[in-house]
């Protein structure tokens, strides 16, 4: 057998064997990864809209989903908004919850991020970042408080905190939230989110 055909055969078979291994690993882990993702979303809804026992999608488009969270007795607990956008290094996916009348952001949580480990990844830290997002006014765009405040009391209702050393990541999260707030306000104006209307239909 000459050299070039040997090279072709070896490379092709290495590729084929590797490919089939990967295909089976992909199949084996696919369900588990999808399950993880679903559990994560459900857990995130409960985190951002406390008291939710039952949630359903009320509006969905690419990279933006609105869930309605209901309590055990059927009362509306609030809405959970899932939004994603570009961060400093990769995609950031987050979720925040509102009260039932959509006037305030109750809690924010980060679902997925690829920010610099140890720096930008602090956007997932409750102490350093997330607790500064509680009870924020949703009627206008939020702004960033620079330099970083040391306690949530120092911030105005429309201000959120910066992480020291990760200004860009903080800005990106703010950008994603502000963009989704705008979408949300438009949807509300068009009446696409009102749950009464849904009940009637």
Residues near another protein (CB under 8 A) = 3, 6-7, 10-11, 14-15, 18, 21-22, 25-26, 29, 32-33, 36, 40, 89-90, 112-115, 117-119, 121, 164-165
In the complex, minimum distance from the CB of residue 151 to another protein, in angstroms, rounded to a whole number = 17
CB 180 within 8 A of CB 64: yes
The half-sphere exposure of 172 on its side-chain side, counting CA atoms within 13 A, is 23
In the complex, minimum distance from the CB of residue 20 to another protein, in angstroms, rounded to a whole number = 10
> How far is it, in rounded angstroms, from Cα 24 to Cα 43?
29
Rg (CA), the chain: 22
In the complex, minimum distance from the CB of residue 106 to another protein, in angstroms, rounded to a whole number = 23
State which residue, 55 or 113, has the beta carbon closest to another protein.
113
Q: Give the DSSP letter of residue 24.
A: H
State which residue, 16 or 156, has the beta carbon closest to another protein.
16
> How far is it, in rounded angstroms, from Cα 73 to Cα 26?
41
In the complex, minimum distance from the CB of residue 15 to another protein, in angstroms, rounded to a whole number = 6
State which residue, 54 or 164, has the beta carbon closest to another protein.
164
* Dihedral sign computed on CA atoms, order 110, 115, 117, 123: negative
Per-residue CA distances from 51 to 15, 29, 196 (Å):
51, 32, 20
State which residue, 163 or 177, has the beta carbon closest to another protein.
163
> How far is it, in rounded angstroms, from Cα 194 to Cα 201?
11
State which residue, 6 or 192, has the beta carbon closest to another protein.
6
* Dihedral sign computed on CA atoms, order 79, 184, 125, 114: positive
In the complex, minimum distance from the CB of residue 21 to another protein, in angstroms, rounded to a whole number = 6
In the complex, minimum distance from the CB of residue 35 to another protein, in angstroms, rounded to a whole number = 9
Three-state secondary structure call for residue 112: strand
State which residue, 2 or 75, has the beta carbon closest to another protein.
2
């Amino acid at each position: 057998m000459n050299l070039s055909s040997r090279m072709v055969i070896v490379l092709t078979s290495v590729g084929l064997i590797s490919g089939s291994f990967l295909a089976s690993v992909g199949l084996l882990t696919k369900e588990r990864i999808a399950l993880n993702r679903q559990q994560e979303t459900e857990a995130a809804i409960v985190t951002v809209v406390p008291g939710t026992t039952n949630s359903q999608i009320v509006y969905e488009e690419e990279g933006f989903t609105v869930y309605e969270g209901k309590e055990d007795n059927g009362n509306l607990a609030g809405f959970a908004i899932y939004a994603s956008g570009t961060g400093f290094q990769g995609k950031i996916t987050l979720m925040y919850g509102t009260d039932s009348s959509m006037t305030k952001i109750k809690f924010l949580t980060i679902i997925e991020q690829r920010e610099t480990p140890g720096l930008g990844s602090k956007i997932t830290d409750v102490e350093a970042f997330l607790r500064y997002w509680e009870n924020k006014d949703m009627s206008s765009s939020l702004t960033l408080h620079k330099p970083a405040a040391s306690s949530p009391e120092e911030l105005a209702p429309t201000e959120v905190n910066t992480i020291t050393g990760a200004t860009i990541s903080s800005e990106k999260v703010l950008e994603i939230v502000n963009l989704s707030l705008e979408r949300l306000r438009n949807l509300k104006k068009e009446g696409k989110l009102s749950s009464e209307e849904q009940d009637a239909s």
